[in-house]
């Protein structure tokens, strides 16, 4: 007779086999109502599952990540799928999994459908939920299931079963409706909600998109219907608000509004940086230049155009020629550099190095071009022309560990300085298409792993995601509205130095090939600045703000004093603009507030008499009058702290 152990450690004896319903009901009627599925010894099961043996059981509700996932799964696989089949009987269903915010279903429609079709499908979904039919699991012999789906024309489902491991002789199907009802039935691992009504109504269909069958671009493109689903209307609304917020922060929109950059048809995937955007860029670049200096890097600069033979030797031609730009002159073929590393190897090779000199660290802010597929371009986030905080470390195998540790520590500080404190780590190991012997890969992967483990860092393993020349650690940060961006990278490369002929003289005076570490913290500066814009919603901390202060008078009688004040502040390295237009103060305040200028300085006759200035911070309507010398002191302190003011009112003013 089963002994059920609950997550809090309590135990319940049952005289006979029990279902998940019974267990939930035995704990409380509220839970019985909220229960969506079970977790039995760590495996998700239907609530109807009968347990006859001892087990650790967790009742899943929409409050659990897993319970919500079951809800979303049922919405996709039972509700959306059924609605689509009822409205489009000729449509063929492929797969319908869950995602972070909801679910999608890939469907092969005989005729393309347009986004206008979504409201009707969604309305049908609501009706299906309201019908509240039960959902039950059935185990079918594999061949019988294949026949069933093939007979119905659902050949994608048949293919899915055929692709399953041969030893699985039964597959599970979920039937909607009472015993044997022929309302809707689909292949699914489950679990599902016990009844459709438990899905609730906090869901929306959000968009349509193309998606390749099985994610392979050689296959047919299906239509993907995206939906979002939440435990409550409130949570749904919160999610929709977050999307609105993300839209408001969109760096493309803010880039235009704040006059930071633009792009135009003639240069797809490349940014034109305007004065303010370039000022922001320079803050980032100069900061990273200082980081290079503090961490033993020497900055270099290599040509943008190099003979293709170099790219053939490095392996890039074989792997990436489709995505490179080329040019030719006097019967020689050149490539526009897609990365800096081969150039850095050329610099390394200009001298014969002793092992005593290693590690040699070279850094560059060189412009790289990659001919990214047109469909992948996205604002500053994915561009064809970019600059990385790119560095290469030439070292011995023994030095890898310490270099990785030092890099990780610096990266944490750098991210914190930019306002990011939540960092995620991934270790990506050997891909299928690669160069180098397995023994070398073993060594490289181990070195990275030990460096992470040694620092007590939790990381996720990403098998098969390494670069063709070596494994890598990927560093991601979480932004102000919870999105994760991969920025930093540390890659071990045992191949390229040898292929490009780099070597050093070891203790025993033999010639050896150095290891090369490819590393970047911000990645593409374009993209990182895009992330910064969205993270801060254009409201940059003082040290990054393109224009830190704007100074204005009440009337044009104060113009000279405003100019003089601006001059004084500029002497202190503050970025100051003046607004001497003949307009009301409130008009100018509004404009500079929309521009998110952090500090607005107003001079009237009162201030001029006492050498004071009235300060208004972005985000606050508090005015504070203080001596100019004190203002300078406070602003300089805020800049060196690199932080946003705790509350706008207490900052600098």
Partner RNA sequence: GCCGAAUUAGCUCAACUGGUAGAGCAACCGCCUUGUAAGCGGUAGGUUGGGGGUUCAAGUCCCUCAUUCGGCACCA
Question: Is there a catalytic annotation at residue 286?
Answer: no
3 state SS for 23-72: HHHHHCHHHHHHCCEEEECCEEEECCCEECCCEEEEEECCCCHHHHHHHH
Say how many residues touch RNA, by CB under 7 A.
72
Site membership for RNA, residue 583 (CB under 7 A) = yes
Question: Is there a catalytic annotation at residue 175?
Answer: no
What is the smallest separation between the CB atom of 589 and RNA, expressed in angstroms? 4
Q: Which of residues 55-114 bind RNA (CB under 7 A)?
A: 112, 114
- DSSP notation for 439-465: HHHHHHHHHHHHHHHHTT---EEETT-
Tokens of 36: 């969506």
What is the smallest separation between the CB atom of 569 and RNA, expressed in angstroms? 16
- DSSP notation for 475-501: EEEE-TTS-EEEEEEEEEESSHHHHTT
Q: Which stretch binds RNA (CB under 7 A): 127-135, 172-180, 211-219, 286-294?
A: 211-219
What is the smallest separation between the CB atom of 646 and RNA, expressed in angstroms? 18
Residue 625, burial from CB neighbour count under 10 angstroms (0-12, 13-18, 19+): middle
Of these, 301, 351, 584, 610, which contacts RNA (CB under 7 A)?
584
Site membership for RNA, residue 207 (CB under 7 A) = yes
Q: Which stretch binds RNA (CB under 7 A): 145-153, 165-173, 231-239, 592-600?
A: 592-600
Of these, 208, 404, 448, 550, which contacts RNA (CB under 7 A)?
208
Site membership for RNA, residue 597 (CB under 7 A) = no
Cα distance between residue 294 and residue 100, in whole Å: 40
Tokens of 547: 């224009």
Site membership for RNA, residue 621 (CB under 7 A) = yes
Q: Which of residues 552-571 bind RNA (CB under 7 A)?
A: 554-557
Of these, 235, 406, 585, 632, which contacts RNA (CB under 7 A)?
585
What is the smallest separation between the CB atom of 616 and RNA, expressed in angstroms? 4
Nearer to RNA by Cβ, of 174 and 311: the residue is 311
Question: Is there a catalytic annotation at residue 401?
Answer: no
Q: Which stretch binds RNA (CB under 7 A): 6-14, 203-211, 234-242, 391-399?
A: 203-211
Q: Which stretch binds RNA (CB under 7 A): 161-169, 476-484, 498-506, 603-611?
A: 603-611
DSSP label at 574?
Answer: -
Residue 321, burial from CB neighbour count under 10 angstroms (0-12, 13-18, 19+): middle
Cα distance between residue 620 and residue 628, in whole Å: 20
What does residue 11 show for φ and ψ, rounded to 5 degrees? -125, 145
Catalytic residue among 157, 316, 382, 518: 518
Q: Which of residues 463-482 bind RNA (CB under 7 A)?
A: 467-468
What is the smallest separation between the CB atom of 115 and RNA, expressed in angstroms? 6
Of these, 134, 177, 197, 604, which contacts RNA (CB under 7 A)?
604
Cα distance between residue 588 and residue 624, in whole Å: 18
Binding mask 322-341 for RNA (x = CB under 7 A): -xx-------------xx-x
Binding mask 214-253 for RNA (x = CB under 7 A): -xxx---x-xx---------------------------xx
Catalytic residue among 430, 472, 519, 535: 472
Torsion sign across C-alpha atoms 173, 177, 179, 180: negative
Nearest CA-CA partner of 515 in 613, 637, 404, 385: 404
Nearest CA-CA partner of 625 in 643, 646, 652: 652
Q: Which of residues 341-380 bind RNA (CB under 7 A)?
A: 341, 370-379
Cα distance between residue 394 and residue 354, in whole Å: 12
Nearer to RNA by Cβ, of 292 and 311: the residue is 311
What is the smallest separation between the CB atom of 329 and RNA, expressed in angstroms? 21
What is the smallest separation between the CB atom of 643 and RNA, expressed in angstroms? 20
Catalytic residue among 188, 341, 395, 487: 341
What is the smallest separation between the CB atom of 493 and RNA, expressed in angstroms? 9
**CA dist list (Å): 406 to 55, 233, 411, 412:** 46, 47, 9, 10
Cα distance between residue 400 and residue 98, in whole Å: 40
Other CB atoms within 10 Å distance of the CB of residue 376 = 11
DSSP label at 551?
Answer: E
Torsion sign across C-alpha atoms 406, 411, 414, 416: negative
Nearer to RNA by Cβ, of 29 and 114: the residue is 114
Binding mask 515-534 for RNA (x = CB under 7 A): ---x----------------
What is the smallest separation between the CB atom of 251 and RNA, expressed in angstroms? 9
Which residues have a catalytic role annotated? Answer: 341, 370, 388, 390, 392, 472, 518
């Amino acid at each position: 007779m089963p002994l059920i152990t609950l997550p809090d450690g309590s135990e319940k004896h049952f005289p006979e086999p029990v279902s998940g319903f019974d267990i939930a009901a035995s704990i409380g009627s509220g839970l019985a109502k909220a229960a969506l599925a079970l977790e039995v010894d760590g495996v998700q099961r239907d609530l109807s599952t009968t347990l006859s043996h001892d087990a650790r059981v967790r009742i899943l509700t929409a409050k659990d990540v897993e319970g919500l996932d079951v809800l979303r799964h049922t919405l996709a696989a039972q509700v959306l799928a059924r609605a689509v089949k009822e409205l489009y009987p000729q449509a063929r269903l492929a797969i319908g999994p869950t995602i972070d915010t909801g679910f999608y279903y890939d469907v092969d429609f005989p005729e393309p459908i347009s986004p206008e079709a979504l409201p009707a499908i969604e309305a049908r979904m609501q009706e299906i939920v309201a019908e509240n039919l039960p959902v039950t699991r059935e185990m079918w012999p594999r061949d019988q299931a294949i026949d069933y789906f093939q007979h119905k024309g659902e050949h994608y489902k048949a293919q899915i079963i055929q692709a399953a491991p041969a030893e699985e002789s039964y597959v599970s199907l979920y039937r909607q409706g009472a015993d044997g009802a022929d309302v809707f039935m689909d292949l699914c691992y489950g679990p599902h909600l016990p009844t459709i009504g438990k899905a609730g109504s906090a869901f929306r269909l959000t968009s349509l998109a193309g998606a390749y069958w099985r994610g392979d671009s050689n296959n047919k493109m299906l239509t993907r219907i995206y939906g979002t689903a939440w435990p409550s209307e409130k949570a749904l609304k919160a999610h929709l608000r977050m999307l609105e917020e993300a839209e408001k922060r969109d760096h493309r929109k803010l880039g235009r509004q704040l006059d930071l950059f633009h792009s135009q048809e003639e240069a797809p995937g490349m940014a034109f940086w305007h004065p303010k955007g370039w000022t922001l860029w320079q803050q980032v670049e100069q900061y990273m230049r200082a980081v290079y200096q503090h961490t033993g890097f020497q900055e270099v600069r290599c040509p943008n155009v190099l003979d293709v033979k170099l790219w053939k030797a490095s392996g890039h031609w074989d792997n990436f020629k489709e995505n490179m730009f080329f040019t030719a002159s006097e019967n020689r073929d050149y490539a526009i550099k897609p990365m800096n590393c081969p150039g850095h190897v050329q610099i390394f090779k200009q001298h014969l190095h002793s092992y005593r000199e290693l590690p040699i660290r070279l850094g560059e802010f060189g412009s790289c071009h990659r001919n990214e597929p047109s469909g992948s371009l996205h604002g500053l986030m994915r561009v064809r022309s970019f600059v990385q905080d790119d560095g290469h470390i030439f070292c011995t195998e023994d030095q890898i560990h310490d270099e990785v540790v030092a890099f990780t520590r610096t990266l944490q500080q750098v991210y914190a300085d930019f306002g990011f404190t939540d960092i995620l780590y991934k270790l990506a190991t050997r891909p299928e298409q690669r160069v180098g012997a397995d023994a070398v890969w073993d060594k490289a992967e181990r070195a990275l792993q030990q460096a992470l483990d040694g620092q007590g860092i939790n990381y996720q393993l990403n098998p098969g995601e390494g670069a063709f020349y070596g494994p890598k650690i990927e560093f991601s940060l979480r932004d102000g509205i919870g999105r994760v961006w991969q920025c930093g990278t540390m890659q071990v490369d045992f191949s390229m130095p040898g292929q490009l002929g780099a070597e050093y003289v070891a203790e025993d005076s033999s010639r050896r090939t150095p290891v090369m570490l490819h590393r970047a913290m911000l990645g593409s500066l374009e993209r990182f600045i895009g992330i910064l814009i969205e993270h801060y919603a254009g409201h940059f901390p003082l040290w990054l703000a393109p224009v830190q202060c704007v100074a204005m008078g009440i009337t044009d009688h104060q113009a000279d004093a405003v100019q003089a004040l601006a001059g004084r502040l500029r002497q202190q390295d503050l970025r100051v603009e003046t607004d001497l237009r003949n307009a009301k103060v409130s008009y100018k305040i509004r404009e500079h507030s929309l521009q998110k200028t952090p500090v607005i300085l107003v001079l009237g006759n009162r201030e001029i008499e006492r050498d004071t200035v009235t300060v208004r911070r972005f985000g606050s309507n508090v005015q504070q009058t203080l001596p100019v010398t004190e203002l300078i002191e406070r602003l300089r302190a805020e800049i060196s702290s690199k932080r946003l003011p705790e509350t706008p009112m207490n900052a600098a003013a």
